[in-house]
Structure 1
Amino acid sequence: MQVKLLIGLILIALFYGIYDSLKGNDHFNALNNNYSLTSGKIEKYFVANKISLRGGTGLNDKKYVYYVDEARFENSYDENIYIDVPNKKPNLNIDYLIIYEKGNPKNSYILLNYPIKNSDDFSKYIELFKYKLPNDVFKKK
């Protein structure tokens, strides 16, 4: 009986993992095909270790805030197949580029490899992203 229960739990976890991965791919593909850019600030950044569970563990806490058409959005993330979580804390005093899905601004990522230190940086990024995503935006495409 215990073996059957264990196998059942493993199968449920496996199916959940596959479903979660496919759902994440849908969000990524929608963002990748119909994106826009804004700037945002990191409000909270704490990484206890590189091991995290999707949805947050309490040990890893990263939250960023951004505005789209005067509406305020908050988002957070854990490391996944598209985004690395740096061990080194980024500069919390500057803005970073935010990529979000047009029509669904909650589907977004903060791009820590695109810091905005002045207005020229943001203009430069708009031009860089004008026709397609640069190769260093995500780990996989």
Structure 2
Amino acid sequence: MTSAITAGPLAVTRPGRDRTDRGAFRSRELSATTLLIAAVGEVDASNAGDMVGYVEDHISGYHQLVIDLSKLDFFATDGFTALHTLTVRCSRRGIDWVLVPGPAVARVLRVCDPEGLVTTAGNIVSAVAALARGPHTHLQLAPLAK
């Protein structure tokens, strides 16, 4: 058996993955008032801000949003911070939204959102149905001081 000794830690990437395959975001209009934004790959510290920026760049003119994170391979706590940021920004704009989590996101939600304050649905169709049932209050914002 041959062994190797290295001076520093050995970096090993997952098969089929590289540093440029962190995460991809895409959007699709579901109706005149509802936008779907989906992510694939990974959401972590390196691109959680990109996710917020992508939503901000595409949400103008819509009243409802479905964020589909069901296809993510990895979701870090930085992703939850991004969801919180989106909650605040959507609340300020009067945009109602529902999250479609996958297993990676569900694990983080169990830890970071044990009260279940983020409205979730099992799939996109269920998310749209939840939005049709009425507004969801994700966050109670205090009125801005004058």
> TM (normalized to structure 1)?
0.27
> TM (normalized to structure 2)?
0.26
